Structure 1
Amino acid sequence: MMRIDDFTLENWLNPACDSEKNKYYLGGSCVLPMTVEELFDLTGESMENFFEELKHMNLGYPRFEGTPRTRKALSKLYKNVEPDEVILCHGGTGANATVCYALIESTDNIISIMPNYQQFYSIPRSIGAELREVDLKIKDGYKLDLSEVRAAADKNTKAILFTNPNNPTGSVLSLEEMRELVEIAKSVDAWIICDEMYRGLDEEYMPSFADLYDKAIVTASSSKIYSMAGTRVGWIICHDAETRKRLFNWRSYDSICGGIFDEWIFAIALDHVDKIFERSRKIVNANKAVIDKWIEKNPYLHQYADAHGTTYLVHYDLDVPAEKFCDDLLDQKGVLVCHGDCFYIPHTFRITLSHAHELEEGLRRIDEYIDELVAQGKAIKN
């Protein structure tokens, strides 16, 4: 029987979110969700027409390959993608799982750039593939040493898997770094598999690996910067027709197709994606300014990455394990942040730049908690 690791992040964070103690939720990664009413106010679409169409919606299976309107709109998020190169899935996790199970075999080795989303190392390991980890350099701003990737790659390397912007740090590869990584992959005929869930928060166009490499497969979803996690629309971009057949085949075993309502309402957002991005940037940038000032004033906190996503990974100089730090913070102060052990980075926590209820009060309570730990002699002298 195939065994897979406990999904640390989801198994810890989701129950914590549901806890009655969770009064100040600062642990999420999705930009503040929209209501249906807000979506229509933002886009200028007619809600009356929407509900009239809803009355007559056929609730049978949608098209297997996905709603044409949605696939066309998604293809426009990239420079070199056609609608038939878009595969719709059930959420971003569905997209990532489909790619891993369809492509990776036990005889392969894969390179996982850490920190990473757990699907991109635990699923390959459960299949029996050899896992080769390359760590981002913390004090360099969570930058990638491409020479380490080159040294890890060989003729049996099936794929290089990572997130860009990175989850949880928000660091990004420059276009030059992306091109160099493509050359490394080409040299061993490996796939680049990139989770781009947080792509799109920059004012200027953020390059995608789908723009740069025929053997790139990228995934994304409606969850993070689109503020519509409940619609459960994920997608895979794949240029190679034969590989798309394999991906569709695996998805048939998993979910068959997407949800007709989900794809339909998400297409409305995509038709006005500039307005969605503008809203997300405004929310993230406002919260980022508050959190930057907060970290700057606290001598026990550090944030190293030039973050382009919706979260920071904050390092703390306190002799308390990350999970205990966050458990006690929730228990004692009602503040929920995500512990860094979920990403195998001790003495850290992930904090949202986006979905934050009463942000400043939550930050004040974290300061209060840290002051109490310092008074107990928990401070680490550097």
Structure 2
Amino acid sequence: MKIDNFVLENWLNPACDSEKNKIYLGGSCVLPMTVEELFELTGESMESFFEELKTMSLGYGRFEGTPRLKKAVANLYKGVDAEDVVLVHGGTGANNTVVMTLIEPTDNVISIMPNYQQFYSLPKSIGTEVRQIDLKPEAGYKLDLDEVRAAVDENTKAILFTNPNNPTGALLSPAEMEEIVEIAKSVGAWVVCDEMYRGLKEEYMPSFADLYDKSIVTCSSSKIYSMAGTRVGWIICKDPDMRWELFNRRSFDSICGGTFDEWIFAIALEHVDKIYERSRKIVNANKAIMDKWLDGHKYVHQYADSYGTTYLVHYDLDVDAEKFCDDLLDQKGVLVCHGDCFYLPHTFRITLSHAEHLEEGLRLIDEYIEELIAKGKGL
């Protein structure tokens, strides 16, 4: 099986480790918490936690996952039971398990672009026909549902996408979600949605897990929950036969989750309102800084109303995205994620979620752009 280069991970992770990385604006996880901060935020006793930790078994955890965590995950949704939750190793583990369980080489799938790369490179790697539908900046990266309707047929196994969108942050309305479900029902397709960035609105954000029995939803402890290092991912699937298939596939990849990871993340989710409040405060503060910078800017633009932890920024310069970001890092010490990771030329993804020096980073980006203009690189 031949598989594409995983562009985002293979470029961003080495760049993060670069000695030139002085101002990190390339991430998408809300500022990670320390163990101490987690217990201060939740009000739980850290001393009691450490006492329990002393006697924790370092053997295998529960094969089906910690019941406490499965219950806490189910409570993030409406009408989801703990038995509908399959715990896996991280968000990438969730997406990989779903694609490799559900999709066959004889199927076709609809991939809404931009998308997380697992949702087009993995089906392609096994010979599945991948039908791409491109979200367009001039439309605010909103989905054209007529294009989806025209693309599906009786051989469509699934519609694959992220919501909120990665990297634009564009969010489907409840009416749009219902229409996607109706399109999927018309051909008997599954709806597969990566909801890693769900949770930043003040009110409850609907999930496809709430809407359709042939939906499969993935999420993890990383983006909104600030605990990527715990490597907890989950799949929500209400169909018992498919859920067994997912669980069986997961068994080939990992025997069980990490006992410590599941335990400490369960504590976090039992106080999820406080986690959400922290994440919203951080993201909204950075969004205000970004909006001020973008307002009236001559060379950079942002088109989506973002409900995620990043902005996708378009720039009017005659420089390829990867070179733009490589040189920005080399010359100014600022790391943003180049848009070629998402097959979006002349763009970069910038964090709203982990930026201790955001304003200084934006000043250096402006300085770098002015130097490019002086070299005749304007469009």
Specify if TM > 0.5: yes
Hey, what's the Cα distance between the residues in 2 that align with 1:133 and 1:256? Answer: 34
Matches for 1:47-196 after TM superposition, within 5 Å: 47-196=46-195
Hey, what's the Cα distance between the residues in 1 that align with 2:359 and 2:351? Answer: 12
Question: Is 2:326 aligned against 1:322?
Answer: no
1:98 alignment partner, SS class: helix
Cross-structure match for 1:367? 366
Question: Is 2:291 aligned against 1:295?
Answer: no
Cross-structure match for 2:16? 17
Report how far residue 297 of structure 1 moved: 4.4
Any idea what the Cα deviations from partners look like across 1:107-156, whole Å, max 9, x if unmatched? 00000000000000000000110010001121110000000000000000
Report how far residue 357 of structure 1 moved: 2.3
Asked whether the 8 Å contact 1:326–1:338 carries over to 2, the reply is yes
Report how far residue 298 of structure 1 moved: 2.3
Hey, what's the Cα distance between the residues in 1 that align with 2:135 and 2:202? Answer: 25
1:160 alignment partner, SS class: strand
Cross-structure match for 2:254? 255
Asked whether the 8 Å contact 1:43–1:275 carries over to 2, the reply is yes
Hey, what's the Cα distance between the residues in 1 that align with 2:157 and 2:20? Answer: 44
AA aligned to 1:85 is D
Identity of aligned residues (%): 78
Question: Is 2:307 aligned against 1:308?
Answer: yes
Cross-structure match for 1:226? 225
1:158 alignment partner, SS class: strand
Hey, what's the Cα distance between the residues in 2 that align with 1:118 and 1:322? Answer: 17
Report how far residue 358 of structure 1 moved: 1.0
Cross-structure match for 1:41? 40
Give the CA RMSD over aligned residues. Answer: 0.5
Any idea what the Cα deviations from partners look like across 1:242-266, whole Å, max 9, x if unmatched? 1111111111111121100000000
Hey, what's the Cα distance between the residues in 1 that align with 2:72 and 2:191? Answer: 23
Hey, what's the Cα distance between the residues in 2 that align with 1:198 and 1:74? Answer: 15
AA aligned to 1:86 is V
Runs of 4+ in 1 over 6 A off after TM superposition: none
Matches for 1:210-289 after TM superposition, within 5 Å: 210-289=209-288
Cross-structure match for 1:7? 6
Asked whether the 8 Å contact 1:137–1:145 carries over to 2, the reply is no
Hey, what's the Cα distance between the residues in 2 that align with 1:90 and 1:363? Answer: 35
Any idea what the Cα deviations from partners look like across 1:28-63, whole Å, max 9, x if unmatched? 000000000000000000000000000000111111
Unaligned runs of 5+ in 1: none
Any idea what the Cα deviations from partners look like across 1:335-370, whole Å, max 9, x if unmatched? 000000011110000000011121111111000000
Hey, what's the Cα distance between the residues in 1 that align with 2:170 and 2:238? Answer: 26
Report how far residue 106 of structure 1 moved: 0.3
- TM-score, normalised via structure 2 length: 0.99
Hey, what's the Cα distance between the residues in 1 that align with 2:295 and 2:324? Answer: 20
Report the count of equivalent residues. Answer: 379
Hey, what's the Cα distance between the residues in 1 that align with 2:247 and 2:234? Answer: 12
Unaligned runs of 5+ in 2: none
Hey, what's the Cα distance between the residues in 2 that align with 1:17 and 1:5? Answer: 22
